[in-house]
Chain A
């Protein structure tokens, strides 16, 4: 099925809309490449065509040629753009295929969010508890 219309919050559309918002991102500063995502199977597949020109991002739904063409199921693409699936792991697992420039895909993955719930902080651990833990395991 084609993407949901504006109003409903399709996570994939949302992700690409934010990515292309003017002045939003410095992730691709100085970079240029095109990456197309094909989600779904065969004739039913949806396309997101990302053009990065000297760091400026534009996204269209055209099935236009690109440096890297990435094919995956829609649910996996959705998981990836919401941080629930790591792009590199997806490649290794065979969940996505990349035709063309792997470098372009590696560059693109910088824009993907981290896993939901990553806090960036953990509680400190005391010297007593580290020493005790290793006394037990030693």
Chain B
């Protein structure tokens, strides 16, 4: 297969095709037209007179639109064709393709143009795990369309394919017999619609999954992107690449916007393209926090959508508890038949306290007390979850252990791979696990909850109680998690209350949460910017020297831009301005090399040895919280902090960035400009 391309809609419909626009999927080959976590087209191959085509060029016009310039024939270097084919595709509730065939000869040509089409209706989980289907396939012709259908009991999905030009419709596709005049053109529009279908019936038109027309969606997309870019604050900087990075972030964030069925006019950040275009509690919250100074709409929608699906019952299959914030929502066949728990799945231990953190931070920036008031019940339930359901060991700490032992998640913190939490010697702790950052988030949630209780909910007694609990948690935490001989916080406590004693980037999240005693902060900051954790590009997930350290291990040595952005914020919280500027310097330099689009993670090799950041191989790009990282780093570098009705600007930027400015920052102060000049000499730490 040629290089795969991806294009998408601001939703969960997307197409992955080769550079000719063709789709030739198998259960294990992830190309196709996907909508609501289902592959509606697994084959879409264009031929002219039985010949496949070759791409001369492929242009991504917008994040939802691509144009392919093609000529007949394959495998030759030398192209001298009398025909060109232009294929322009826009993704909507399926996709819309304009096909133009240009005859450059002085003679007319007779052409047999064929589009082969098939749908395997694989669930995304099946694509990932290569599982077999359980239902039946059929095809029919209805209302001039070829309809591909899949049915399993009452679950149906259909793909409707039609053309504007007269076509011969067969089970395996559409064909056109055409004559193109000399220097003339033939064209048709092809429409592919993803439909829910109806059980045991053959509807004569597509049944919209979202009940909205395709045309309206397409118009909205173009307008939506322009409006989105126009509304965002402007960034100016002596260091030119920053403007490019910022622009890339905004465009990628626009592409990652996702609307839920219950709030069609609003959007929240999905986790990543293309496989994670859905609500993730943790990812949506972190990304909303990162983007908050630039756009608060994502945060507001995230809060409302997560509150709407907040847990209310004990459900072991979904790892649901009352008050718990969801982990992941899916819409495919396996969720439908409860073969996977994502309807939604609740197995995470951080999104619930982080929900309260985001709510408070949102109010500090926007002053929108109305939303805080309307989410009072949800926030109280989230705070109650911390004490009543998350303290699995009865020791006053938040722990996690899955109750769905078949398809649930073993690790319910952001470092969710099997080996991410280990002792220095490489042994793995048992379950439940109380990882350190969860205690930080719980502390922060209580402190921020107290502020909201006093300010908005007018319940000072509740505020007093939360602050008392937070103070107690902080005192115990600084005693129980502090690794005395190493002067840092253990990554977790195990089931015996013993420290899981490896040195990790989680220490940075602890600074961000505020749970760290002042007297211990200096040592923590030294570790974060020391040679074991800091590579010159960024802070490694696990320190060099630990048994499981591997510079290209997913959570055991790679550098995560998202992680670093929150650590920079944390360093600023404790006044370590130069250290924060060094993180800004490292990640921004990496962002320049990645042309503005930071990957989910890159290798933890020392900067001095590789000179460039080594991308970690991953299927998802852009990833929402990597996209948000430069935004939060900009905030940390400029030292932006809301204080009542004002915005504090206290810059500490790398000297080589020169003057840096954000114009028209929105917030409770209406609009404000933030300016800073880079003065921190970061080269010594970053090794630039």
Question: Hey, which bits of chain A sit against chain B, CB under 8 A?
Answer: 27, 29-30, 83, 86, 88-89, 92-95, 102-103, 106-107, 110-115, 117-122, 124-131, 134
Known contacts A127-B494, A134-B419; A92 and B321 CB within 8 A of each other: no
How many Å lie between the Cα of A126 and that of B495 in the bound state? 7
Question: Hey, which bits of chain B sit against chain A, CB under 8 A?
Answer: 153-156, 196, 198-199, 261-263, 308-309, 312-318, 320-321, 331-333, 335-338, 343-344, 374, 377, 389, 401-403, 405, 418-419, 427-432, 494-495
Known contacts A94-B155, A118-B316; A106 and B432 CB within 8 A of each other: no
How many Å lie between the Cα of A118 and that of B309 in the bound state? 19
Residues of B within 8 Å of A131, CB to CB, are 427-428
Whether B430 and A126, one on each chain, are in contact in the complex, defined by CB atoms closer than 8 angstroms, is: yes
Whether A120 and B403, one on each chain, are in contact in the complex, defined by CB atoms closer than 8 angstroms, is: yes
Nearest-neighbor residue (CB-CB) of B151 within chain A: A94
Whether A27 and B401, one on each chain, are in contact in the complex, defined by CB atoms closer than 8 angstroms, is: no
Whether B377 and A30, one on each chain, are in contact in the complex, defined by CB atoms closer than 8 angstroms, is: yes
Whether B405 and A122, one on each chain, are in contact in the complex, defined by CB atoms closer than 8 angstroms, is: yes
Whether B199 and A125, one on each chain, are in contact in the complex, defined by CB atoms closer than 8 angstroms, is: no
Whether B315 and A102, one on each chain, are in contact in the complex, defined by CB atoms closer than 8 angstroms, is: no
How many Å lie between the Cα of A131 and that of B495 in the bound state? 14
How many Å lie between the Cα of A39 and that of B20 in the bound state? 50
Known contacts A95-B154, A103-B308, A120-B316; A127 and B430 CB within 8 A of each other: yes
A33 to chain B, nearest CB (A): 12
Whether A134 and B428, one on each chain, are in contact in the complex, defined by CB atoms closer than 8 angstroms, is: yes
Known contacts A94-B199, A115-B315, A127-B429; A107 and B308 CB within 8 A of each other: yes
Known contacts A89-B343, A112-B313; A103 and B495 CB within 8 A of each other: no
How many Å lie between the Cα of A44 and that of B344 in the bound state? 33
How many Å lie between the Cα of A29 and that of B199 in the bound state? 37
Whether A114 and B308, one on each chain, are in contact in the complex, defined by CB atoms closer than 8 angstroms, is: no
Whether A113 and B313, one on each chain, are in contact in the complex, defined by CB atoms closer than 8 angstroms, is: yes
Known contacts A86-B343, A119-B316, A134-B419; A129 and B430 CB within 8 A of each other: yes
Residues of A within 8 Å of B418, CB to CB, are 134
Known contacts A92-B331, A95-B154, A125-B430; A114 and B313 CB within 8 A of each other: yes
Whether B336 and A120, one on each chain, are in contact in the complex, defined by CB atoms closer than 8 angstroms, is: no
Q: Provide a sorted-by-A list of 15 A–B residue pairs whose CB atoms are within 8 angstroms.
A: A88-B343, A92-B335, A93-B155, A106-B308, A106-B309, A107-B308, A117-B316, A118-B316, A119-B316, A120-B314, A120-B389, A121-B403, A125-B401, A125-B495, A127-B429
A72 to chain B, nearest CB (A): 10
Whether B314 and A118, one on each chain, are in contact in the complex, defined by CB atoms closer than 8 angstroms, is: yes
Whether A120 and B154, one on each chain, are in contact in the complex, defined by CB atoms closer than 8 angstroms, is: no
Whether B495 and A127, one on each chain, are in contact in the complex, defined by CB atoms closer than 8 angstroms, is: yes
How many Å lie between the Cα of A9 and that of B316 in the bound state? 27
How many Å lie between the Cα of A124 and that of B495 in the bound state? 8
Whether B154 and A93, one on each chain, are in contact in the complex, defined by CB atoms closer than 8 angstroms, is: yes
Residues of B within 8 Å of A115, CB to CB, are 315-317
Nearest-neighbor residue (CB-CB) of B376 within chain A: A30
How many Å lie between the Cα of A110 and that of B430 in the bound state? 33
Whether A118 and B315, one on each chain, are in contact in the complex, defined by CB atoms closer than 8 angstroms, is: yes
Residues of A within 8 Å of B344, CB to CB, are 88
Known contacts A89-B335, A122-B403; A110 and B312 CB within 8 A of each other: yes
Identify the 7 closest CB pairs spanning chains A and B, nearest first. Answer: A92-B336, A114-B313, A114-B315, A103-B262, A94-B154, A88-B343, A118-B316
How many Å lie between the Cα of A107 and that of B317 in the bound state? 21
How many Å lie between the Cα of A118 and that of B311 in the bound state? 14
Residues of A within 8 Å of B494, CB to CB, are 127
B36 to chain A, nearest CB (A): 8
How many Å lie between the Cα of A60 and that of B155 in the bound state? 31
Residues of B within 8 Å of A27, CB to CB, are 312
Residues of B within 8 Å of A110, CB to CB, are 312
B604 to chain A, nearest CB (A): 21
Known contacts A89-B335, A93-B154; A114 and B314 CB within 8 A of each other: yes
A111 to chain B, nearest CB (A): 7
**Which has the most chain A C-beta neighbours within 10 Å: B320, B418, B431?**
B431
How many Å lie between the Cα of A21 and that of B405 in the bound state? 36
A67 to chain B, nearest CB (A): 12
Residues of B within 8 Å of A106, CB to CB, are 262, 308-309
How many Å lie between the Cα of A127 and that of B430 in the bound state? 4
Whether A93 and B428, one on each chain, are in contact in the complex, defined by CB atoms closer than 8 angstroms, is: no
Residues of A within 8 Å of B315, CB to CB, are 114-115, 118
How many Å lie between the Cα of A115 and that of B404 in the bound state? 13
Whether A120 and B155, one on each chain, are in contact in the complex, defined by CB atoms closer than 8 angstroms, is: no
Nearest-neighbor residue (CB-CB) of B393 within chain A: A124
How many Å lie between the Cα of A127 and that of B264 in the bound state? 46
A22 to chain B, nearest CB (A): 20
Whether B321 and A93, one on each chain, are in contact in the complex, defined by CB atoms closer than 8 angstroms, is: no
Residues of A within 8 Å of B331, CB to CB, are 92
A110 to chain B, nearest CB (A): 4
How many Å lie between the Cα of A131 and that of B421 in the bound state? 11
Nearest-neighbor residue (CB-CB) of B421 within chain A: A130
Residues of B within 8 Å of A128, CB to CB, are 430
Residues of B within 8 Å of A89, CB to CB, are 335-338, 343
Whether A130 and B431, one on each chain, are in contact in the complex, defined by CB atoms closer than 8 angstroms, is: yes
Nearest-neighbor residue (CB-CB) of A129 within chain B: B430
Whether A94 and B156, one on each chain, are in contact in the complex, defined by CB atoms closer than 8 angstroms, is: yes
Residues of A within 8 Å of B401, CB to CB, are 122, 124-125
Residues of A within 8 Å of B333, CB to CB, are 92
Residues of B within 8 Å of A124, CB to CB, are 401, 430-432, 495
Known contacts A86-B343, A119-B316, A130-B431; A93 and B405 CB within 8 A of each other: no
